[in-house]
Every structure is written in C-alpha cells, then in structure tokens.
Copies of this chain bind each other. A is one copy, B any other.
Amino acid sequence: SIVDAVLGVLHHRNDLSGETVLITAGGTREALDPVRFLGNRSSGKMGYALAEAAERRGARVILVSAPTALRPPANVEIVPVITTEEMRGEVINRVDQASIVIKAAAVADYRPIRQSGQKMKRQGPLTLDLEPTADILSEVVARRHPGQLIVGFAAETENAVAHGRDKLLRKGADAIVLNDVSREGIGFDSDRNAVTFLTAQTSLDLPEMTKRDLADRILEEILGLRRPQHVVSETGTMFE
C-alpha cells in the first residue's frame, strides 16, 4: 500500500544513498554437453530480494545474475551470466565501482574438465572428471579497496557456524551470511529464510522471516559493520 511504501521510505531513510552495491545471485551452471549441466539449488530469491531492498534504500545496484526464474527488480543494472567463470569476469570488471559487495550467488564449485560438444548418448557407466572453479570471493577480497565492505554467503549442512566462520576467516570477508540448508521448509526455493550473520567477532541469528524482510535486516547489519565497534578486517578500514 501507499502507506507502507511511505513508512518504508521514512523508516529506511535512504541510508544506502551514495553507495554502489554489487550483488551476485542465482546458481551458476557448468555444461557437461549442450544439454546437461552441473548446477545447484539456488533459486536466486535471496539475492534478488537484497537487490530490491538496496535499491529502495537509495543505492545504485549492480546485480550479476546466474540463471533464475525471477523477474529482475526495477532500477537495477542486471548482468546475466551462466558459468562461474563468466560470473567471475563480470564481477571483477565491476567490483572497483562497488562500495559494498554481497556474494549471494551459489556458484558451481566444480566444473567438468572436458565438455562434450555433442550430446552424450546414454550408455554404460560414465566417469566425470571435475576441477574446482575460480574462488570469486577470495579474488574480490584480494582487490579490496579501502572502505569496501565484502560479504559472502555460505550454505552449510553440518557444523554450520564453525564452517561459516572458517570460510569468513580463510577468505577475509567482512561477514558471512550463513544458510543452514539442512533445515526443512525454508531456504531453497522458499520465500522465507532464517540465517546467521557472522563476523569475526559476532554471531547474530536472524529468525525466520520473508526473504524481503531478511534482505533489509542483512543490509542493516552490513551497514553496522562501518560502526566503530567492529574491526572490519585486517585488510579493511574502520570508519568513523
């Protein structure tokens, strides 16, 4: 409603005005042949909700999107990609413009070493040799400019907080948004989710809510990283 929209604008006070937020979303795909691919279950909904929320709060938003079934949010610069390598290239090309980077995409961590140019025929057992894809988050951290905030996502199924913090420290991101994908009924494909917002020092459980509401809560936590109680990271810069 109009009242909600007005309250929303008042509430958020355009607090991302002047920021450029680069968001990745969706699940990348690695082709085995012209028909088959290795993919993952990301619907892209969380990344698209973040893009919409950041735009509403006044940011310029660049959305580097792997395939999804979603309609792109209005007033967002959308950059479509398929593979992890394409996503890497488009992110690296644009990351210097961004004051905030949010890597919500689920990248295919592996790709076939060999692709078949023709459709493979079903026959007996088949062995597929896979190699790791580029680690985009680590590359973004390596190029970080002063004041740039870098937030990753992690989907974990066991010891989620321990694995999430390990990823945070290993990659040097400012925060990791942790999805425990072993929980039923939220997360993949759902319009709702619950996550843990992890920094090197803190762990904040954000309870189940709509992905759109969660997007606003995550953006608030990201902006909170600029407040002095946080040490952003060894290679980052503290503000205020």
Seen from chain A, the residues whose Cβ lies within 8 Å of a Cβ on chain B are 29, 32-41, 69, 106, 108-110, 113, 117-120, 122-133, 135, 155-158, 181-182
Contact = CB atoms under 8 A, between A and B. Distances in A.
Given A131-B125, A132-B123, A181-B119, A38 B36 contact: yes
A41 B156 CA distance: 26
Given A36-B39, A125-B129, 4 more contacts: A36-B110, A123-B132, A125-B131, A127-B130
A228 B122 CA distance: 34
B37 A40 contact: yes
15 contacts: A35-B40, A35-B41, A35-B155, A36-B40, A36-B41, A36-B108, A36-B109, A36-B110, A39-B39, A119-B157, A122-B133, A124-B132, A126-B129, A126-B130, A127-B130
Given A36-B40, A38-B38, A158-B118, A127 B125 contact: no
Contacts of A41: 35-37
A10 B106 CA distance: 49
A108 B38 CA distance: 11
Nearest to A33: B157
A69 B27 CA distance: 14
Give 6 closest A-B pairs by Cβ, nearest first: A69-B69, A109-B122, A128-B128, A126-B130, A119-B157, A36-B40
Nearest to A135: B122
A127 B129 contact: yes
Contacts of A124: 132
Contact of A155 (B119, B126, B129, B158): B119
A181 B135 contact: no
